[in-house]
Chain A
């Protein structure tokens, strides 16, 4: 099977859906420009024309209401934000309008809206270009929230999201755009609301969201190589609906759980996942659940502080060692992911 990058997989999902269904439109600041949202919207303007692929004024709130109004008249809008942080300007429309519109107006409507937003990181993105905030969106009844990690999931889940009659927020980590995976050429749906085991194991469960799955997989490799610890890595994939059963099944097997969330830990998704896991399999747990996430600070720009802000594979390894009562191993020979090898900025 051929390999695609995450970015190419997103583009292919949207392209195939737009070819299939002419009620789909895509818009957002920069969507049709020469940069094409890091390449994820290439060829859409050329293939489907300016009535289906267009730029917008810098009016995030009204364009989100616009998406709802278009959906109520039979279109399937995709609204793209090049950073999650910009989506905050649209919270009124998202939280007061889109999420509840069908419910409060008597379930007469469908609201098939996909909102794509990109999580930035590194090279000085700073506090206003690096937020994730998936727990904000998942907190609101009426919204589905997905965070695909692999290219094949990106294609399948975005296809599902476009076909879904409910509004879906899709958060895409900028660093995942280079990740490659085997991706089917034909169109397919990956169901929203089912977690995925990325690596099987029997000794400890690591639950990841978005980029933290990549760190978790690296941590699992190193733990196995040095200590023979078999860590099971579960990608949440969808924060709402959340597949707490699959997580609990794994934890019931391993007895240990670390949640590695690509967001601030306080009041975050990790807390919710931990609570549900306790409810479902408290008796199987040999130690309390640990959470790994961003430090409780705005994201700084300088690299040395950024290193302190973000958790990585090493953070996860140290948590695993601690929870399993193992002495910390030397990691000096290990290679960890460093974005400098790919990402030279500026955005």
Chain B
């Protein structure tokens, strides 16, 4: 495989793992064994897939409550993931985090937070430590466009710009905070022109083509690593499902289904599949790597269901470090 092919295939693997894991959640959630509020990444997988493809495994990332895809794309593992969703001792936090606080530091996933914009300053502080310790890394924060409404967002951008630390801010712009559109929340039209006034580099993409995201994130991370100048990426995407839960909610009139149809017609997982076929992989080869991921997921779910729940004395462990 050529280099381009390798990137394309790995990108597809990240996308497919995320999509199939969430298909599995949708299928099994009604069993009521995964008892955790699920904020599904469904439809938004390409941003974490493209960015994580551009990052090194050790690059620290901070994500949000909507972070299944980011966790899976960064770690490329789903055994601890499912075990955590099932609340088992083999999960990322032995059942203490559920869906909203996934973390796997050994793979550079430093945690997810359920309070909007609270993860941005952590990425800035981590970037400060990276620069101070002269590590060849870049820290990264993922967040939605709702984060821009928060004070912590602007505080974090200001600190990063002031200190010139290797941090990448990744805005997954799906246009909604829960059910409230940005037009009902934001007193500005062009956030990019505001951000350009800070000592940071800004990048924008109005679609969610995973290869373009990878290319932009590669360019941004390369420069950020070298110059310590923070980068801000705003990438458009579309949430296929309700804010929290596994269902569609187009009957609720807060958004138009035609938009969903438009985004789904250029679904990023499908696009990337087409692309690797065009790049020369055979249908059989693609199906084989898909099957491999499906088997991993099946085994992960089976293992998670089998694994023990934490014992009661786990409750007070880890309250203090």
Which residues of chain A have a CB within 8 Å of any CB of chain B? 25, 51, 56-57, 59, 61-75, 77, 92-93, 96-97, 101-112, 141-142, 144, 164-167
Contacts and interface: CB of A to CB of B under 8 A. Distances in A.
Given A65-B121, A97-B115, 6 more contacts: A59-B158, A61-B121, A69-B139, A96-B115, A97-B122, A142-B319
5 contacts: A66-B159, A75-B132, A97-B118, A102-B318, A144-B320
B53 interface: no
Contacts of A141: 319
B159 A70 contact: no
B111 A105 contact: yes
B96 A69 contact: no
Given A62-B155, A63-B159, A69-B139, A109 B321 contact: yes
Given A61-B155, A106-B97, A68 B122 contact: yes
Given A105-B101, A106-B103, A57 B158 contact: yes
Contacts of B317: 107
A242 B162 CA distance: 40
Nearest to A105: B103
Contacts of B92: 105-106
A72 B126 contact: yes
Contact of A69 (B103, B129, B162): B129
B155 A51 contact: no
A62 B94 contact: no
Contact of B128 (A70, A92, A108, A109): A70
A57 B121 CA distance: 13
Closest 8 CB pairs of A and B: A69-B125, A65-B121, A62-B155, A73-B129, A69-B122, A106-B93, A66-B125, A59-B155
Nearest to B158: A57
A51 B132 contact: yes
Contacts of B181: none
B251 interface: no
B318 A107 contact: yes
Interface in B98-114: 101, 103, 105-106, 110-111, 113
Given A105-B103, A144-B320, A69 B94 contact: no
B155 to A, nearest CB: 3
B40 interface: no
Contacts of B318: 102-103, 106-107
Contacts of B162: 57
Contacts of B211: none
Contact of A70 (B94, B125, B156): B125
A62 B129 contact: no
B236 to A, nearest CB: 26
B170 interface: no
A56 B159 contact: yes
A110 B105 CA distance: 12
A72 B130 CA distance: 11
Contacts of A166: 320-321
A73 B18 CA distance: 27
A81 to B, nearest CB: 15
Given A69-B123, A73-B126, A104-B101, A92 B115 contact: yes
B124 interface: yes
A78 B55 CA distance: 30
B151 interface: yes
Nearest to B122: A69
B97 A73 contact: no
Contacts of B155: 57, 59, 61-63
Contacts of B115: 92, 96-97
A66 B122 contact: yes
Given A67-B125, A75-B129, A104-B97, A62 B321 contact: no
Contacts of A93: 118, 121
B185 to A, nearest CB: 19
Contacts of A67: 125
Nearest to B92: A106
Contact of B159 (A62, A72, A105, A111): A62
Given A97-B115, A104-B97, A57 B125 contact: no
A74 B134 CA distance: 12
Contacts of A167: 321
B69 interface: no
Contacts of B103: 104-106, 108
B60 interface: yes
A112 B320 CA distance: 11
Interface string B126-163: 11111011010001000000000001100110110010
